[in-house]
């Protein structure tokens, strides 16, 4: 009986203790500081963290057509999905420069692209979404005030019909050095090399319709000793900050040496006489930037060797070089270096190789060497015009098969004799770059969008020019 009484007493004391603990537990609270969030565990209070993101819309008004790009960035300026991809993209032809005599119609040609862009940006985000239009070489080459009239019509269109955030400087002609700089940002952004040492970055070449750009990062010492340029000319070095790291970027744009413009320069050399770059059996006229050029073949047809000499003249390879090293036309080459070791070639470097069947046109990018253009040129120059249309159906469809010999030789000479690349150097040519589980266009608008977004008050300044 005594043992039983003692056990009962112990059990009652134990139960009393448990009851007391259960009673006081709800009043015990503790907190954990997680960044800016205070987590109150006893009351299950989880303050909602605001998700910061922003869209950006960029129009690329090029010489061959107009394109629209829509991007969606998170608070760290990483790309988010826009639908199933990380970029909305569409294009229309012809470009704004085709409406030199009708600026209002030039602006109206953008309406379908504008409406598509608005359809993918949520309505409550549109008024906060920066929109930009950058016109490139096509408008740079127009005579008189034609380009400014077109730009003003575009400004009026965006102000009156757009629901986006239109800043005063939203519509402009971007110069070639800006175009090259933005493409460099695009490529290195997509490849994940921004913020790393300049020796780890990738140089870019962009062969457009009216101009060609070269841009790559150089050492601080090289930038410091860069040649001075004449008043009014673009400096050779652009200084910018990306992810907190300063870069010195050699960049130069060669106006008149894009694919379409270069044909005019090559035909000018022969002064309306038969040109050895034109295929046998073709007798026509080439039109570019409001001018016409006689394009007819020699009686013997195209000649690889003779055409190459003509291209050398058109590129002004013998022009006096006032510096230690030049590309062509007396332009400083940037000194070379680690930032040029890896190269990404965009636009017509990709399109021509794909359209003549040198590579699979369905791939977003591929490896290629300058010598590959030379090999294909030798085969193309041996054809007559009719055979070329059969051999190159993509070019025939665009009515440019007659220039296949010329275009292939031009790209080889530009890369090897102009930019000084080894004929066997492997470069990446592409229209798109893999980014996460998707693809982004290998074009300057993404770099422009990064700058536009990083200048918004709620975003950290990822990119800015010094």
Annotation-wise, does 211 bind a ligand? yes
Q: Is 35 annotated as a binding residue?
A: no
Three-state SS for 287? strand
DSSP state of 139: H
- 337 is annotated as contributing to ligand binding: no
d(CA 448, CA 178): 9
End-to-end CA distance of the chain: 93
Residue 179 among the catalytic residues:
yes
Residue 65: burial class (beta carbons within 10 Å; 0-12, 13-18, 19+)? middle
Candidate list 179, 260, 374, 451, residue with the active-site label: 179
DSSP conformation class of 27: G
Strands 427-430 and 365-368: antiparallel
212 among annotated binding-site residues = yes
Find out whether 210 is annotated in a ligand binding site.
yes
Q: State yes or no: cis peptide before 459, omega within 30 of 0.
A: no
Tokens 């070449």, located at residue: 205
Among the listed residues 56, 51, 55, the one whose alpha carbon sits nearest the alpha carbon of residue 75: 51
Which class for 358: exposed (0-12), middle (13-18), buried (19 or more C-beta within 10 A)?
middle
Tell me how far apart the alpha carbons of residues 10 and 31 are, in angstroms, rounded to a whole number: 36
Q: Which residues are catalytic?
A: 179
Q: Known binding site: residues?
A: 209-213
Q: Known binding site for ATP: residues?
A: 209-213
């Amino acid at each position: 009986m005594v043992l039983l009484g003692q056990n009962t007493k112990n059990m009652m004391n134990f139960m009393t203790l448990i009851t007391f603990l259960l009673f006081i537990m709800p009043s015990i609270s503790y907190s954990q500081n997680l960044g800016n969030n205070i987590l109150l565990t006893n009351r299950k209070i989880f303050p909602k963290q605001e998700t910061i993101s922003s869209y950006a819309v960029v129009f690329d008004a090029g010489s061959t057509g107009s394109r629209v790009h829509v991007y969606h960035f998170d608070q760290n300026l990483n790309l988010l999905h826009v639908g199933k991809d990380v970029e909305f993209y569409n294009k229309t032809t012809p470009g704004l420069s085709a409406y030199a005599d009708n600026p209002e119609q030039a602006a109206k040609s953008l309406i379908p692209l504008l409406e598509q862009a608005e359809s993918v940006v949520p309505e409550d985000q549109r008024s906060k979404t920066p929109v930009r239009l950058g016109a490139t070489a096509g408008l740079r080459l127009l005579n008189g005030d034609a380009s400014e009239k077109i730009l003003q019509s575009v400004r009026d269109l965006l102000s009156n019909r757009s629901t986006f955030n239109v800043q005063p400087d939203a519509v402009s002609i971007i110069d070639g050095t800006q175009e090259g700089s933005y493409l460099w940002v695009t490529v290195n952004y997509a490849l994940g090399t921004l913020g790393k040492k300049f020796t780890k970055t990738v140089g870019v070449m962009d062969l457009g319709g009216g101009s060609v750009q070269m841009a790559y990062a150089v050492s601080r010492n090289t930038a410091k000793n860069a040649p001075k340029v004449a008043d009014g000319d673009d400096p050779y070095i652009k200084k910018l900050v990306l992810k907190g790291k300063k870069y010195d970027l050699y960049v130069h744009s060669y106006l008149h040496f894009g694919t379409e413009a270069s044909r005019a320069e090559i035909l000018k050399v022969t002064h309306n006489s038969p040109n050895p770059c034109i295929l046998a059996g073709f007798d026509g006229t080439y039109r570019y930037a409001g001018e016409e050029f006689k394009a007819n073949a020699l009686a013997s047809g195209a000649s690889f060797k003779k055409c190459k000499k003509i291209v050398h003249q058109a590129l002004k390879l013998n022009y006096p070089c006032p510096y230690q090293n030049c590309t062509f036309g007396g332009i400083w080459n940037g000194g070379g270096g680690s930032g040029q070791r890896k190269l990404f070639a965009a636009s017509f470097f990709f399109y021509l190789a794909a359209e003549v069947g040198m590579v699979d046109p369905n791939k977003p990018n591929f490896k290629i060497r300058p010598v590959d253009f030379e090999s294909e040129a030798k085969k193309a120059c041996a054809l007559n015009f009719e055979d070329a249309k059969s051999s190159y159906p993509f070019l025939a469809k665009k009515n440019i098969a007659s220039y296949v010999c010329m275009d292939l030789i031009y790209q080889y000479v530009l890369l090897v004799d102009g930019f000084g690349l080894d004929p066997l150097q492997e470069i990446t040519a592409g229209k798109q770059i893999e980014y996460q589980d998707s693809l982004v266009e290998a074009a300057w608008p993404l770099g422009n969008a990064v700058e536009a977004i990083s200048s918004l008050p709620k975003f950290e300044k990822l990119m800015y020019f010094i």
